Amino acid sequence: MKIREIQPEDNKVVAQLIRSVFDELNIPKTGTAYEDVSLDKMYETYQLPRSNYFVVMSEGVIVGGAGVAPLQNDSSDICELQKMYFLREARGKGAGFNIMELCLKAAKDFGFEKCYLETMPFMEEAQKLYKKFNFKYLETPMGCTGHTSCPVWMIKDL
């Protein structure tokens, strides 16, 4: 698998991939990334300052992705790990670990001091990965992500 920065022509594929994972895993569509306006214009969204989104390629096909961007309505030293989703065939093969390393390096390079994320309780494998990277659970959400259906919040020092 290869990881690269998102390109303009990836917008439609990435949006479809993320929505398909929501359908597969029965993730609520209301109050989650599924409703984000940015979902259909990921390339443009991650061209904003201190933001980047990476896609994972397998045999020339996008099979996953993740990004970092400033946490909305919070301290300027906190970023958010965003829209980390993989197709079933890409899970458990190290792509999540590799893209996490890349996202966290980008966050450090952007000057962030902490990285925040939100997830679902049943996404246990993802939480195991986050814990490997020293993310710790929080009691309450941070910022203003609009993801009111994501009740698991984590943060790490960079």
Whether 147 has a pLDDT exceeding 70, the answer reads no
Whether 56 has a pLDDT exceeding 70, the answer reads yes
What pLDDT score does 148 carry?
Answer: 66
Is the CB of residue 63 less than 8 Å from the CB of residue 90?
Answer: yes
**Mean pLDDT lowest for which of 65-69, 75-79, 98-102, 103-107?**
75-79
Greater model confidence, 65 or 150: 65
What pLDDT score does 74 carry?
Answer: 74
Q: What is the DSSP string of 86-134?
A: E-GGGTTTTHHHHHHHHHHHHHHHTT-SEEEEEE-TT-HHHHHHHHHTT
Tell me the sheet residues that pair with 58.
61
**How far does CA 155 lie from the centroid of its chain?**
13
82 residue type, one letter: Q
Q: What mean pLDDT do residues 36-62 have?
A: 95
What pLDDT score does 30 carry?
Answer: 79
Each residue of 87-113: pLDDT tens digit? 999 998 999 999 999 999 999 999 999
Query: Which strands sit side by side in the sheet containing 152-157, from one edge to the other?
Result: 2-5, 52-58, 61-70, 78-86, 114-119, 152-157, 136-137
Q: What mean pLDDT do residues 40-69 have?
A: 97
Q: What mean pLDDT do residues 47-69 have?
A: 97
Please tell me the class of the 2-157 domain: alpha beta
